[in-house]
C-alpha cells in the first residue's frame, strides 16, 4: 500500500474455468469494490435423479450397446434393467442426513404397477414413509415420448409427416394424460410435489435438432392448461433458459455417469466405448469428431482413479461460479454400486474444505433453481442495456434505473434500507449481505405526498381525492381493471413480472402518500424556510432537511407497503404469467387448489399471516421510536390529508 493506494498481485497461473481462480474470483471482486457492488453471488448445487419407480436398461459390456434400448449385434445377451430397491431408499435417506444435502427425484408413477409383488410395489412401500425427505418432480406417468411421431425407417430417425407434408405430433390427450395421471398418482401415494414443475421423459416434446426444430405445439398447450411454470432442458443442447409457451425452460447439466449403468465396470466399459479410438476397441467417435481419444481404462480401477474424480471436478467447477443449473443423474446410479454418491460426496467434501460455514452450498429444487436463473437473465439484460447505475456517497448507496427493474445488490454486513435505523438489508452469505431489490412504490408515494402537500390548487386536490379513493375500491375490481389496462390499452406491457410490479405499485402508492402527508402537516414549513434563508437550494433543502425529517414516515410506509405486497394474491394472480416468478401467496393457493394441501401448507400460511402482523406492528413501533419527543396534532394532520386546509 502506497499513497493511499492498494495493489493486489496474483502470483499463480489460472484461467476463468480453473478451480484455483473460481475459489478466489468473488473475493477479488469484493476486494476491488470494498464489498459494495451490483450482483448476487451464491454457490449452487442441485442433483436430480431421473426415472424413479421406473427401471433403466443396462449397458452390455460384451455387446457394447444397451439391449432393449439401442441396436445390438446379433447374439448380444440380454441384460437385466436396473431399478432401485428398498435398501437403496434406506441408504439414500441416511446419506442425505449425514451429508446435509437433499436429492431431487423425477418420478414415473405409472411404472410402479409393473413391479408389484402380491399387489404391492416394494420400492413404493419403502419410499412412502420418507417421501418428504426428497424433492419430487413430475417426469410423466409412463415416460412416454411426447414429441413428433418418430419415423425409424431412416437413420437417424425423422419426424413422420402426413400426405400434405405436415408434421405428425403426439396428441394433446396423450400429453395431458401423462401429466395429470402422474399428479393424481402422487397425491394418492403421499408423494409431495409442486404441480408447476414438469420434466418430459428424455426431454421429448421439446425441440431436438436437427429432426424436430420446434416444440410440440400440443405440449406447449398442455403446459399452459396445466399451469406448468418450469420445464428442464438439456444443457448440452440448450445451455440458456428460454420460454416454452407460458413456462420457462431450466437447463440441466448432463454428467458422464450414464443412465444405463449401475456398476463401476459397466460405467468404465461404456466410457471406454465413447471416448476411445476404434484401434483401442472404442467407437472411434473421437476420431470422427477430430478430438483427442482417451486410452482404455481398467474396468476395475478406471472409475475410482479417473472417471469419478473428473466428474467431481466438473460439478465443483460449476457449483462455484454462480450457476444454479441442476445436474442430471438417473435412478440406476442409486442402486448396485450407487455411483451417484461418491461423486456428490466428493463435491461436497471438496467444497466444504475450502469455503467457510457462512457460505454453504445452496441446495434447492428445480423451481427455485429456475427462479434464480431467471433473475440472473433479467439482470443480464438490464445490465447489457446500460440503464442501471449506482454510486456510493459517504455511507449511502444509491441505485437508479427504469421502474420495475430488479437489481441485485451486495453490501457489507450491517447495511440498512433507507436510513441507519431502517430494516436490515438482504440475506447473509459469505460474510456479506445481498438481495434482488425493486424499490418503487415508496419513492413514488413520497413524491406524490410532497406534490399534493406543497402544491396548491385544483390539480393536487384532485390527486389527493384519487389517492384516498383507492382505499375504498375493492382490490378485485382494481386488479381486473389493471388486467384490461395491460392486455387492451397498453398491450406492449406483457403480463408477468413488470405488470405485477406496476399493478402493486399503483395499488400501494397511497400508503406512503398518506403517511408522508401526515408527517409534512406535522413538521410545517418552517424548516424549509429556514434552510432557504441560509442559502440552501431546493435540492439541498430536499436532501438535507426534508428527507431526514420525513424518514420516520417513509420507514413506516415502507413497512406497510412490504406487508401488503408480501401476501398479495388478487393482483399478482390476475397480472402474472406462468413464466413469472411465483409469489408465495400464489404458491399457497395453487398448491391447496391442486389438492396438495396439508399441515406444512397450513403452517406456511399461518407464518405468513403472523409475519404480516409482526411487520405492521414493527412499522408502528419504529415510527413511534423515531418520532419520540415530538408532539404532533393528529387532527390537524388528518384535516390536511383530507384537503380541509389550503
The C-alpha cell that represents 197 in the structure block: 414443475
Chain-centroid distance of CA 115 in Å reads 35
Cα separation, 244 vs 233, in Å, equals 10
- CA nearest 562: which of 520, 613, 519, 518? 613
Cα separation, 167 vs 254, in Å, equals 29
**Mean per-residue pLDDT for 621-635?**
61
**Mean per-residue pLDDT for 157-162?**
95
Cα separation, 174 vs 155, in Å, equals 26
**Structure confidence at residue 488 (pLDDT):** 73
Q: What is the mean pLDDT of the chain?
A: 85
The segment with the largest mean pLDDT, out of 150-159, 438-447, 563-572, is 150-159
**Structure confidence at residue 541 (pLDDT):** 74
Q: Order of strands across the sheet with 432-437? A: 37-38, 407-412, 432-437, 427-429
pLDDT digits (tens, 9 = 90+) for 384-410: 888 888 888 777 788 877 767 788 999
**Mean per-residue pLDDT for 408-432?**
84
User: Any idea what DSSP says for residue 444?
Assistant: H
E strands within 413-543? 427-429, 432-437
- Cis amide bond preceding 452, omega within 30: no
Query: What CATH number is given for 47-366 in this structure?
Result: 3.20.20.370
Q: Lowest-confidence range among 142-151, 269-278, 519-528, 585-594?
A: 585-594
* HSE value, Cβ hemisphere, 13 Å, CA-based, for 291: 10
pLDDT digits (tens, 9 = 90+) for 263-300: 999 999 999 999 999 999 999 999 988 899 999 999 99
Q: Lowest-confidence range among 195-209, 331-345, 498-512?
A: 498-512
**Higher pLDDT, residue 244 or 464:** 244
- Cis amide bond preceding 161, omega within 30: no
Establish whether domains 47-366 and 441-641 are of one fold: no
Angle between the N-to-C axes of helices 458-469 and 510-523, in degrees from 0 to 180, rounded to the nearest 10 = 130
Chain-centroid distance of CA 51 in Å reads 23
The answer to whether residues 244 and 215 touch, using CB atoms and an 8 Å cutoff, is: yes
Confidence of residue 640 (pLDDT cuts 50, 70, 90): very low
The answer to whether residues 207 and 215 touch, using CB atoms and an 8 Å cutoff, is: yes
**Higher pLDDT, residue 361 or 606:** 361
Cα separation, 1 vs 125, in Å, equals 66
Proportion of the chain above pLDDT 90, given as a percent: 52
* Cβ neighbours around 595 below 10 Å, total: 12
pTM over 0.85: no
- CA nearest 253: which of 267, 270, 240? 240
Domain boundaries, the chain: 47-366, 386-437, 441-641
What residues have CB less than 8 Å from 377, skipping those under 6 apart? 240, 241
* HSE value, Cβ hemisphere, 13 Å, CA-based, for 124: 22
Confidence of residue 586 (pLDDT cuts 50, 70, 90): low
**Structure confidence at residue 72 (pLDDT):** 94
CATH class of 441-641: mainly alpha
pLDDT value at 205 more than 80? yes
Cα separation, 446 vs 451, in Å, equals 9
Cα separation, 269 vs 288, in Å, equals 20
pLDDT digits (tens, 9 = 90+) for 337-363: 999 999 999 999 999 999 999 999 999
User: Any idea what DSSP says for residue 583?
Assistant: P
Cα separation, 10 vs 41, in Å, equals 22
The segment with the largest mean pLDDT, out of 277-291, 501-515, 548-562, is 277-291
The answer to whether residues 248 and 370 touch, using CB atoms and an 8 Å cutoff, is: yes
**Structure confidence at residue 645 (pLDDT):** 35
- Cis amide bond preceding 430, omega within 30: no
The answer to whether residues 308 and 341 touch, using CB atoms and an 8 Å cutoff, is: no
Confidence of residue 644 (pLDDT cuts 50, 70, 90): very low
* Cβ neighbours around 268 below 10 Å, total: 23
β-strand pairing of 242-244 with 230-234? unpaired
**Higher pLDDT, residue 597 or 271:** 271
Name the strand (E) or helix (H) holding 436.
Answer: strand 432-437
Amino acid at each position: 500500500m502506497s499513497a493511499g493506494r492498494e495493489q493486489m498481485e496474483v502470483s499463480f497461473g489460472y484461467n476463468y474455468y480453473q478451480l484455483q481462480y473460481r475459489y478466489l474470483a468473488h473475493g477479488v471482486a469484493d476486494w476491488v469494490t470494498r464489498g459494495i457492488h451490483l450482483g448476487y453471488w451464491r454457490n449452487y448445487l442441485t442433483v436430480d435423479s431421473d426415472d424413479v419407480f421406473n427401471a433403466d436398461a443396462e449397458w452390455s459390456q460384451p455387446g457394447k450397446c444397451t439391449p432393449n434400448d439401442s441396436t445390438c449385434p446379433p447374439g448380444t445377451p440380454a441384460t437385466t434393467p436396473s431399478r432401485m430397491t428398498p435398501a437403496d431408499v434406506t441408504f439414500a435417506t441416511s446419506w442425505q442426513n449425514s451429508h446435509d444435502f437433499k436429492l431431487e427425484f423425477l418420478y414415473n408413477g405409472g411404472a410402479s404397477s409393473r413391479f408389484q409383488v402380491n399387489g404391492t410395489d416394494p420400492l413404493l412401500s419403502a419410499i412412502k414413509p420418507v417421501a418428504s425427505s426428497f424433492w419430487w418432480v413430475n417426469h410423466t406417468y409412463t415416460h412416454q415420448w411426447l414429441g413428433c411421431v418418430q419415423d425409424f425407417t431412416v437413420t437417424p430417425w425423422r419426424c413422420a409427416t402426413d400426405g400434405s407434408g405436415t408434421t405428425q405430433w403426439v396428441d394433446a390427450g396423450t400429453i395431458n394424460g401423462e401429466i395429470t395421471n402422474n399428479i393424481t398418482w402422487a397425491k394418492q401415494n403421499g408423494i409431495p410435489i409442486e404441480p408447476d414443475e414438469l420434466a418430459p421423459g428424455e426431454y421429448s416434446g421439446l425441440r431436438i435438432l436437427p429432426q424436430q426444430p420446434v416444440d410440440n405445439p400440443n405440449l406447449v398447450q398442455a403446459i399452459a392448461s396445466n399451469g406448468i411454470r418450469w420445464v428442464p432442458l438439456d444443457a448440452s443442447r440448450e445451455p440458456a433458459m428460454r420460454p416454452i409457451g407460458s413456462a420457462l425452460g431450466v437447463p440441466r447439466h448432463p454428467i458422464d455417469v450414464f443412465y444405463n449403468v449401475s456398476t463401476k465396470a459397466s460405467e468404465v466399459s461404456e466410457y471406454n466405448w465413447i471416448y476411445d479410438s476404434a484401434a483401442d476397441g472404442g467407437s472411434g467417435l473421437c476420431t470422427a469428431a477430430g478430438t483427442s481419444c482417451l486410452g482404455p481404462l481398467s474396468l476395475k480401477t478406471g472409475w475410482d482413479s479417473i472417471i469419478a474424480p473428473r466428474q467431481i471436478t466438473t460439478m465443483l467447477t460449476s457449483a462455484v461460479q454462480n450457476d444454479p443449473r441442476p445436474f442430471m443423474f438417473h435412478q440406476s446410479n442409486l442402486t448396485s454400486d450407487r455411483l451417484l454418491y461418491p461423486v456428490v460426496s466428493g463435491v461436497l467434501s471438496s467444497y466444504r474444505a475450502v469455503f467457510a460455514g457462512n457460505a454453504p452450498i445452496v441446495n434447492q429444487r428445480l423451481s427455485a433453481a429456475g427462479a434464480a436463473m431467471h433473475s440472473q437473465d433479467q439482470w443480464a439484460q438490464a445490465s447489457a442495456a446500460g440503464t442501471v447505475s449506482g454510486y456510493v456517497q459517504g455511507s449511502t448507496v444509491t441505485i437508479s434505473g427504469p421502474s420495475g427493474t430488479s437489481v441485485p445488490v451486495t453490501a457489507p454486513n450491517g447495511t440498512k434500507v433507507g436510513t441507519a435505523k431502517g430494516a436490515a438489508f438482504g440475506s447473509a452469505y459469505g460474510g456479506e449481505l445481498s438481495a434482488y431489490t425493486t424499490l418503487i412504490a415508496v419513492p413514488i408515494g413520497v413524491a406524490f405526498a410532497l406534490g399534493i402537500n406543497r402544491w396548491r390548487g385544483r390539480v393536487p386536490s384532485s390527486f389527493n381525492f384519487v389517492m384516498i379513493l383507492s382505499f375504498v375500491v375493492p382490490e378485485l375490481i382494481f386488479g381486473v381493471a389493471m388486467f384490461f389496462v395491460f392486455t387492451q390499452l397498453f398491450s406492449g406491457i406483457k403480463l408477468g413480472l413488470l405488470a405485477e410490479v406496476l399493478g402493486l405499485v399503483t395499488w400501494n402508492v397511497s400508503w406512503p402518500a398518506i403517511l408522508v402527508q401526515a408527517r409534512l402537516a406535522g413538521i410545517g414549513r418552517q424548516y424549509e424556510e429556514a434552510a432557504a434563508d441560509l442559502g440552501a437550494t431546493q435540492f439541498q433543502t430536499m436532501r438535507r432537511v426534508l428527507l431526514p425529517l420525513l424518514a420516520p414516515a417513509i420507514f413506516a410506509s415502507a413497512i406497510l407497503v412490504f406487508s401488503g405486497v408480501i401476501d398479495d394474491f388478487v393482483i399478482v394472480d390476475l397480472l402474472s404469467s406462468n413464466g413469472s416468478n411465483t409469489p408465495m401467496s400464489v404458491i399457497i393457493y395453487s398448491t391447496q387448489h391442486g389438492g396438495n394441501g396439508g399441515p406444512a401448507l397450513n403452517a406456511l400460511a399461518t407464518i405468513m399471516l403472523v409475519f404480516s402482523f409482526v411487520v405492521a406492528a414493527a412499522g408502528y413501533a419504529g415510527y413511534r421510536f423515531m418520532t419520540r419527543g415530538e408532539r404532533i396534532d393528529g387532527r390537524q394532520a388528518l384535516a390536511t390529508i383530507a384537503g380541509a386546509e389550503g
